[in-house]
Amino acid sequence: MDKKFEDITSIDDRQTFDDANVYVDALIDEATANGSLDEQYAVNEYTREIGRVGGMCADYERKHMKFKHLKFK
């Protein structure tokens, strides 16, 4: 696994956010293919990295993005 975004602790711009999302998707695909996500509560290099970068993406979304509320009929 080739780690990226090791030198940052938060995401502050849209380009980095978009790049981080692509990276997390690629990690999930790789981890699924090699069986690292087969166990529900697995703790390994993939789950830690997905959690770390995914958490930074979630923080960026919370701070900088406004989503419309879902309406149910």
When pLDDT is cut at 50, 70 and 90, the band that residue 71 belongs to is confident
- Pair 11, 59: CB distance under 8 Å: yes
Q: Does residue 73 carry a pLDDT above 90?
A: no
Taking a C-beta distance cutoff of 8 angstroms, is the pair 31, 42 a contact? Answer: no
Q: How far is 27 from 47, CA to CA, in rounded Å? A: 9
Domain count, the chain: 1
Average pLDDT along the chain: 93
Residue 68 banded pLDDT, cuts 50, 70, 90: confident
* Domain coverage including residue 59: 14-64
Cα separation values, 45 from 15, 19, 28, 62, 70, Å:
25, 20, 12, 26, 35
pLDDT digits (tens, 9 = 90+) for 35-66: 999 999 999 999 999 999 999 999 999 999 88
Note the pTM of the prediction, 2 decimals: 0.85
Residue 51 belongs to some domain of the structure: yes
